[in-house]
Amino acid sequence: MEAKPDTAMSRSQDPEKKALLEVFELKTWFSSSSGMFARQKQHIRAVDGVSFRIRQNETLGLVGESGCGKTTLGRTLLGLETATSGHVIFKDRPLLSLSRKEMDQMRRHLQVVFQDPLSSLNPRMNVINIVTEGLVRFGMLKGSRQEHARRLLAEVGMDEAMIYRFPHEFSGGQRQRINIARAVSLRPDLIICDEAVSALDVSIQAQVINLLLTLQEQHFLSYLFISHDLSVVSNIADRVAVMYLGQIVETGSTAEVIREPLHPYTRMLIAALPVAGKKKVDSSGVKGETPLYTARPEGCRFNPRCRQAMDVCRRTAPDEIRQNSRSVRCHLYS
């Protein structure tokens, strides 16, 4: 598996690049009732003390198995879930403290592309209205809607004549291009791509990733690219954050993490990736599935699945250890 080339990696590590988004100890917990007569309240710690930053014109890949909390994290940043605690600074503004009206205005700068291209599009709206809706709402429409729609379709590699069609008339890949056209129409600073290519065929995935890379260069975009698939993330992300049960367990440049994964969970994800011409072998020896949030293990959350688990791992949760551009949350490095 190859990671995104070094040109992009050095761009991400450029200290001159300003932080666009900074997340500090973000927690998003939900309450659930369980047990006899549903009297016992339990906290589902979907996001449990997450910190990271994204620089201007950088892509951070957020990777982890289904149910690790990565989608809840994205939804919290978008204001679709309420944070329990923590701080988020976006464009020098405290995102979690904004009023509803201020957050609405901020949406111009913070866009999203969801996994399911069809359900993300209003079936009763044609392409003209879909891709120019935001421009009208934010008073950014200069010229006719048709003109803007044609330009936006051309930007995402689609035939300009398609502006009068409706979502059901397109393939999955074309629908996702329309979603991307809508997202870039407002010239945002950051786009959260939540499993944005997961529903597409592999060949279409590659085309959409190339489109995202081209648009990033053209419009100086940053992405938070959320995916369960590390091989997809490695093709687009400058840096990677690996998430397990609500926490980030490893970060680093994509090339470093792929070449030398530190956390046993990251090693497991890499070992499970298919290799062309070879039978898939999970050489890490890590087994099992992500436990339920309500059954969070004591100590290190990964210890029931970790072959290298020690006594301390079952007693004490590891702190995050940082060195240069890497971080890892594991007692092996204490």
Which stretch in 10-18, 56-64, 117-125, 297-305 sits in contact with ligand SF4 by CB under 6 A?
Answer: 297-305
Residue with Cβ nearer ligand SF4 (232 or 300): 300
- Beta carbon of residue 303, minimum distance to ligand SF4 (angstroms, whole number): 4
Which stretch in 15-23, 89-97, 149-157, 305-313 sits in contact with ligand SF4 by CB under 6 A?
Answer: 305-313
Tokens 């791509």, residue located: 193
Spatial distance between the Cα atoms of 96 and 90, rounded to a whole number of angstroms: 10
Nearest to 303 by CA among 327, 280, 281, 329: 329
Tell me which residues in 250-279 interact with ligand SF4 (CB under 6 A).
263-264
Structure tokens at 329: 């949350």
Which residues are within 8 A (CB) of 195 and not within 5 positions of it... i.e. 6 or more apart? Answer: 71, 114, 115, 226, 227, 228
3-class SS of residue 208: helix
List the one residue from 103, 308, 320, 326 that touches ligand SF4 (CB under 6 A): 308
Residue pair 257/266 in contact by the 8 Å Cβ criterion: yes
3-class SS of residue 182: helix
Q: Give 3-state DSSP helix, strand, coil % of the chain, rounded to 5.
A: 35, 25, 40
Q: Is 69 in the site for ligand SF4 (CB under 6 A)?
A: no
- Beta carbon of residue 332, minimum distance to ligand SF4 (angstroms, whole number): 5
Spatial distance between the Cα atoms of 52 and 25, rounded to a whole number of angstroms: 9
Residue with Cβ nearer ligand SF4 (233 or 330): 330
List the one residue from 132, 158, 302, 327 that touches ligand SF4 (CB under 6 A): 302
List the one residue from 3, 131, 233, 306 that touches ligand SF4 (CB under 6 A): 306
Which stretch in 20-28, 30-38, 275-283, 302-310 sits in contact with ligand SF4 by CB under 6 A?
Answer: 302-310
Q: Is 330 in the site for ligand SF4 (CB under 6 A)?
A: yes
Q: Interface with ligand SF4 by CB under 6 A: which residues?
A: 263-264, 300, 302-303, 306, 308-310, 313, 318, 330-332
